[in-house]
Amino acid sequence: MRTHIAKGREAEELTVGARWVVVDAAGLALGRVATHIARLLIGKDKPNYTPHLDCGDHVVVINAERILLTGNKIQQKIYRTHSGYPGGLKEVPIQRLMPKKADFVVREAVLGMLPKNKLRARRAKKLRVYTGKEGLARHTGQNPQAVAAQA
């Protein structure tokens, strides 16, 4: 049996037909939700998945502040940035970051699971992360469908 690869007009149709999906992250583990969201953004859940095309869906994540961190991550996980100057290393523990920027934590986890290729930026634009449910009201015009993430 041969694998079908979309070409030409068929490939254009795959990239246009993206649906809008809502994932409720409340009470779910960060890594498991991020993996599920990354698969939706890539389009691996679709039967017409083509590796070299962006055939994924738009994903809206709500309740990012209620996501769970398993193990000792709440005490041990640290986000680091460097300005490029000597002494420019900044370290922020996730314990301080979660109350203020829970959407940043979820977004970074998902982006870390996307493949590092030319489609990454286009897939990242399809991700919207919100704390609480107010983000869902912004996207009612797109008629998003709720998808259950694995616990």
**Per-residue confidence (pLDDT) for residue 83, from 0 to 100:** 97
Place of tokens 């634009």: 125
Q: Map out the domains of the chain as residue ranges.
A: 9-147
Q: What percent of the chain has pLDDT over 90?
A: 68
**Per-residue confidence (pLDDT) for residue 2, from 0 to 100:** 81
Mean pLDDT by 10 residues, the chain (151 residues): 76 76 95 96 87 90 95 94 97 95 96 96 96 89 86 60
Cα–Cα distances in Å, from 134 out to 63, 88, 115, 128, 138?
Answer: 9, 36, 30, 12, 7
Model confidence, pTM = 0.90
> What kind of architecture, by CATH, is found in domain 9-147?
Alpha-Beta Complex (3.90)
* Among candidate residues 45, 37, 29, 58, the one with its CA nearest the CA of residue 125: 58
Distance CA(132)–CA(149), nearest Å, equals 17
Please say whether the beta carbons of 144 and 135 come within 8 A: no
